[in-house]
Amino acid sequence: MKVLIPTPLRSYTGERSEVEAEGTTLAELLADLDRRYPGIRFRMIDEQDAIRRHIRIWVNRDQVSTLQVQLGAEDEVIIFQALSGG
Amino acid sequence: MKTNKIPQSGLPKPATGAVALLVATRKGAFVLRSDKARRAWRTTGPMFFGHIVHHMVLDHRPSPGAKAKGSRTLLAATSTGHLGPTLSRSPDFGRTWKEAASPPAFPKAPEGQKGRAVGHTFWLTPGHARKPGVWYAGTSPQGLFRSEDDGDTWAPVSGFNDNPMYSSWTGGEQDGTPDGPKLHSINVDPRDPRHLYIAMSSGGVFESTDEGASWKPLNAGVLADFRPDKYPDYGQDAHCVRLHPAAPDVLYQQNHCGIYRLERPGATWQRIGDNMPKKIGDIGFPVVLHPRDPATLWVFPMDGGTVWPRTSPGGKPAAYVSRNAGRTWQRLDSGLPKSQGWFTVKRQAMSADAHDPVGVYFGTTSGEIWASSNEGRKWVCVARHLPEIYAVEAVELAR
């Protein structure tokens, strides 16, 4: 399915803003994304599987707070990173 | 006071070549290279532009897997204000970098329990000379990590991180510095790879003699004036601890509550900062040691009064040197601003080279690098307008 990547993480995806990854849950999808782009997951998700403080993940139009969210083949996953602060 | 004199034959020869300063800043990393005379300096960078670089350290040992003979690994601990922390390695002095496959991270906590997450890797130390490829890292919140493959993958040192006393020793998040409690000052005894010292803000100094499997606090004699018990076993706020590389029984500590010296096998620190001028005091972040003389050290005092401004006292920056293990101190401010100089020098932002006379360097929170090629007698600003400087490491490009 389609995954939209924010600017600060595009160094992992060869500067691509939109990539493909697979999974039936958000956890699986992020694991697949990390297989394709090693290191990208830990920048977004900490070692306790929590979404980092300044990262937001949306599935279609719903913001999610857990990696256990179920995904369908037609879903779109959008990753945002806050750009607050100096 | 003994000064742990060591025979001249046992001392490393002074370096004579060009020096490089590895500069870690809030917005990237830079390298300053000198000529052989250490008079002219050239700045290159930024690397990791826009990233917070907490520490950048060059291995003193040849890289175990290097293709080029004599190649030494350069490690950089980075994060951004928003993304998680990571760590990168360079085999060619920063020309190319590769991210660590598995940067320092705490284990996943069992279901239903709260686990720790590394906020950033703060401190990097190469392991013992007989353990090529081994590195140690200190993190915020306090964690000790070890790599055995030249910084590519990292494992927690569970003897410390999972110690039953961990919570008591570290004191919790509110006991840390404003940007998070830190484990730092990882010192490896050059005589014995099993013998390690670490320090924490907060927590104090700890020692292991079994390569990190077990730890004991080492804080006797060190004041903690912010606690009801002024001399606890642990809980002190060690800012920077250095072990003398040529006299490894000698340690110096710049603490939240003064400057201290410890000579092993003794276990009680002696406050040598009491001998500093009273109007300056003995509060600061860094302490830097002479590479060959264990009685000589430099500090950079700051204002630790009222709300802890953490700037040069009175806006008049100066380093201080002691050449007799802290019995007396001399002010070193030639070339530095005589007034309205309000910068801070962080604990990793002061360093010395291995020349004779020793070059001493410091970086400021206002983005300046100051250098002295004569042990602090005269300072010259060799870079300005850099981002806020977190760390400065002096390395010899050739001996």
> Cβ separation of A47 and B99 shorter than 8 Å?
no
**Which stretches in chain A have pLDDT values below 50?**
none
**Mean pLDDT confidence for B112-123:** 95
B279 and B231 co-located in one domain: no
Model pLDDT for residues A18-40, shown as the tens digit of each residue:
999 999 999 999 999 999 999 99
The span from the CA of B261 to the CA of B255, in Å, is 11
What does DSSP say about strands B258-263 and B270-271: parallel, antiparallel, or unpaired?
antiparallel
Domain closes at, from B236, B261, B294? B236
The answer to whether the CB of B325 falls within 8 A of the CB of B263 is no
Identify the sign of the CA torsion B280, B284, B290, B294. Answer: positive
Q: Which of B81, B86, B106 has its CB closest to that of A47?
A: B106
How many domains does one find in chain A?
1
Residue A86 lies in a domain: no
Residue B194 lies in a domain: yes
Model pLDDT for residues B60-99, shown as the tens digit of each residue:
998 887 767 778 999 999 998 889 999 999 999 999 999 9
Residue B45 lies in a domain: no
Is the minimum CB–CB distance between B119 and chain A shorter than 8 Å?
A: no
Query: Which residues neighbour B320 within 8 Å (Cβ) at sequence distance 6 or greater?
Result: B276, B280, B298, B299, B300, B301, B329, B330, B331, B332
Closest to B119 measured CA to CA, from B198, B192, B176: B176
pLDDT at site B62: 85
Q: Where are the beta strands (DSSP E) in B36-115?
A: 41-47, 52-58, 74-79, 86-90, 98-99
Distance of CA B201 to the CA centre of its chain: 13
- Could you list the residue range(s) of the whole structural domain that residue B318 is in? 247-399
Residue B23 lies in a domain: no
pLDDT value at B329 more than 70: yes
B144 and B273 co-located in one domain: no
**Cα distances (angstroms) measured from residue B399 to each of A24, B13, B19, B396:** 58, 9, 10, 7
pLDDT at site B395: 97
Residue A22 lies in a domain: yes
Q: Domain holding A72: CATH number?
A: 3.10.20.30
Residue A54 lies in a domain: yes
B193 and B76 co-located in one domain: yes
Model pLDDT for residues B162-192, shown as the tens digit of each residue:
999 999 999 876 666 778 899 999 999 999 9
B89 and B200 co-located in one domain: yes
What's chain B's average pLDDT? 94
Query: Which residues neighbour A60 within 8 Å (Cβ) at sequence distance 6 or greater?
Result: A75, A76
Model pLDDT for residues B262-314, shown as the tens digit of each residue:
999 999 999 999 999 999 999 999 999 999 999 999 999 999 888 888 899 99
B321 and B356 co-located in one domain: yes
B57 and B193 co-located in one domain: yes
B213 and B298 co-located in one domain: no
- Residue B376 CB burial class (10 angstroms; 0-12, 13-18, ≥19): buried
Is the minimum CB–CB distance between B82 and chain A shorter than 8 Å?
A: yes
B174 and B306 co-located in one domain: no
The answer to whether the CB of B343 falls within 8 A of the CB of B361 is no
Residue A65 lies in a domain: yes
Residue B381 lies in a domain: yes
Residue B66 lies in a domain: yes
Domain closes at, from B175, B210, B236? B236
The answer to whether the CB of B360 falls within 8 A of the CB of B298 is yes
What does DSSP say about strands B182-188 and B196-201: parallel, antiparallel, or unpaired?
antiparallel
How many domains does one find in chain B?
2
State which H helix or E strand residue A31 sits in: helix A26-36
Residue B8 lies in a domain: no
B351 and B290 co-located in one domain: yes
Candidates A13, A37, A41, A42: best to mutate against B (most CBs of B within 10 A) is A42
Residue B133 lies in a domain: yes
Residue A41 lies in a domain: yes
Instruction: Copy the structure tokens of residue B100.
Output: 């660590």
Q: Domain holding B371: CATH number?
A: 2.130.10.10
Q: What is the CA radius of gyration of chain A?
A: 12
Is the minimum CB–CB distance between B161 and chain A shorter than 8 Å?
A: no
B255 and B387 co-located in one domain: yes
Q: For chain B, how many residues are written?
A: 399
Residue B398 lies in a domain: yes
The span from the CA of B142 to the CA of B215, in Å, is 14
- Could you list the residue range(s) of the whole structural domain that residue A53 is in? 2-81
Query: Which residues neighbour B353 within 8 Å (Cβ) at sequence distance 6 or greater?
Result: B15, B19, B38, B291, B359, B360, B361, B394, B395, B396
The span from the CA of B360 to the CA of B369, in Å, is 11
Q: Which residues of A touch B108 (CB under 8 A)?
A: 47-49
Residue A61 lies in a domain: yes
Query: Which residues neighbour B282 within 8 Å (Cβ) at sequence distance 6 or greater?
Result: B258, B259, B271, B273, B274, B276, B299, B301
> For the whole prediction, is pTM greater than 0.80?
yes
Candidates A43, A52, A55, A56: best to mutate against B (most CBs of B within 10 A) is A43
B329 and B228 co-located in one domain: no
- Residue B243 CB burial class (10 angstroms; 0-12, 13-18, ≥19): buried
Query: Which residues neighbour A62 within 8 Å (Cβ) at sequence distance 6 or greater?
Result: none
B219 and B258 co-located in one domain: no
Domain closes at, from B206, B236, B266? B236
